[in-house]
């Protein structure tokens, strides 16, 4: 029988920072890959039916259009730009929402439900530090996946990668992911709750957003998700991003994330 494996160096904090590489790997395999596959499938199903029409229009440009844009290449560029705008407007919302859903689904709740927390948190680490870091890593992982997808789209169809696009992806992700993180820290059915909150916020803001009733102020407990298309349209058109709205969204997500950390600090792990 060999001697006990442990050395005599005691009272050492867990190396959560170094564990980040494992969290990044877990993200890519368990969450990033499904995000990539489902989003790519969505992109393909959106783009594929539109491509023959686009090609036809490119091949048979009306003389009036060529004259208007000052040449065949310029007219084709305009057509391509319109096509991308149409695609991006629908695609961005889907990829951000799905990306956040995949990245945050059960991020805390699964470990609780499946009992993984027992070995993890008998180590000298705190749940808020561990999951707080996981959130940031999943966020970064999502951006990597999103950038790879836009690069592939750019190589196959038309370049779309831009700083405003990445900013919009990052901050809109923060909104949904922050809410999902809080829900996962506090409850079991986090993915269902995220869908419910998204649908409820979207519906209530569009229905009562203009109301002058004092009760309408309660709407500010939810983000105005009926206006997300303003962000995606601005990015798609290449217009100035409505920063006030984007900051509203990102701030809401950030507050939800911080509340999630508070929940993790005080909520007992064995309570599912």
- Let me know: does 99 contact 173? Beta carbons within 8 Å: yes
Q: Closest CB to other proteins among 7 and 213?
A: 7
DSSP at 105: T
Q: How far apart are CA 76 and CA 83, in angstroms?
A: 10
Q: Closest CB to other proteins among 19 and 42?
A: 19
The C-alpha torsion from 176 through 179 and 185 to 191, rounded to 10°, is: -60
The count of residues interacting with other proteins (CB under 8 A) is 36
Residue among 124, 154, 159, 209 that touches other proteins (CB under 8 A)? 124
Least distance to other proteins, CB of residue 200, Å: 21
Least distance to other proteins, CB of residue 25, Å: 10
Number of residues in the chain: 272
Q: Which stretch binds other proteins (CB under 8 A): 76-84, 112-120, 144-152, 213-221?
A: 112-120
Q: Does 12 bind other proteins (CB under 8 A)?
A: yes
DSSP at 269: T
Residue among 54, 80, 125, 157 that touches other proteins (CB under 8 A)? 125
- Please count the CA atoms within 13 angstroms of the CA of 265 that sit on its side-chain side: 8
Q: Which stretch binds other proteins (CB under 8 A): 17-25, 69-77, 152-160, 215-223?
A: 17-25
Q: Which stretch binds other proteins (CB under 8 A): 51-59, 166-174, 233-241, 264-272?
A: 264-272
Q: Closest CB to other proteins among 18 and 210?
A: 18
Residue among 8, 60, 212, 244 that touches other proteins (CB under 8 A)? 8
Q: According to DSSP H, which parts of the chain are helical?
A: 16-26, 33-47, 51-59, 63-69, 72-104, 109-113, 117-120, 127-156, 163-186, 190-208, 228-237, 243-266
Structure tokens at 72: 């065949």
CA nearest to 78, candidates 62, 91, 65, 64: 65
Least distance to other proteins, CB of residue 108, Å: 14
Binding site for other proteins (CB under 8 A): 1-16, 18-19, 22, 114-126, 268-271
């Amino acid at each position: 029988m060999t001697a006990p494996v442990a050395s005599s160096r005691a009272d050492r904090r867990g190396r959560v920072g170094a564990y980040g590489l494992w969290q990044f790997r877990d993200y890519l395999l368990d969450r990033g890959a499904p995000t990539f596959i489902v989003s790519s499938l969505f992109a393909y199903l959106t783009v594929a039916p539109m491509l023959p029409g686009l090609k036809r229009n490119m091949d048979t440009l009306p003389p009036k259009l060529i004259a208007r844009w000052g040449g065949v290449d310029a007219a084709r560029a305009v057509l391509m730009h319109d096509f991308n705008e149409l695609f991006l407007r629908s695609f961005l919302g889907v990829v951000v929402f799905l990306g956040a859903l995949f990245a945050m689904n059960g991020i805390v709740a699964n470990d609780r439900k499946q009992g993984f927390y027992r070995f993890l948190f008998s180590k000298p680490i705190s749940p808020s530090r561990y999951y707080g870091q996981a959130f940031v890593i999943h966020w970064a992982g999502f951006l990597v996946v999103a950038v790879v997808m836009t690069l592939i789209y750019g190589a196959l169809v038309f370049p779309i990668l831009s700083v405003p696009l990445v900013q919009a992806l990052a901050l809109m992700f923060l909104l949904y992911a922050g809410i999902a993180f809080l829900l996962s820290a506090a409850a079991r059915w986090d993915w269902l709750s995220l869908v419910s909150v998204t649908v409820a916020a979207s519906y209530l803001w569009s229905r009562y957003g203009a109301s002058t009733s004092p009760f309408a102020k309660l709407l500010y407990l939810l983000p105005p998700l009926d206006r997300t298309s303003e962000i995606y349209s601005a990015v798609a058109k290449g217009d100035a991003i409505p920063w006030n709205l984007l900051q509203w969204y990102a701030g809401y997500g950030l507050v939800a994330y911080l509340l999630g950390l508070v929940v993790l600090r005080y909520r007992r792990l064995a309570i599912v």
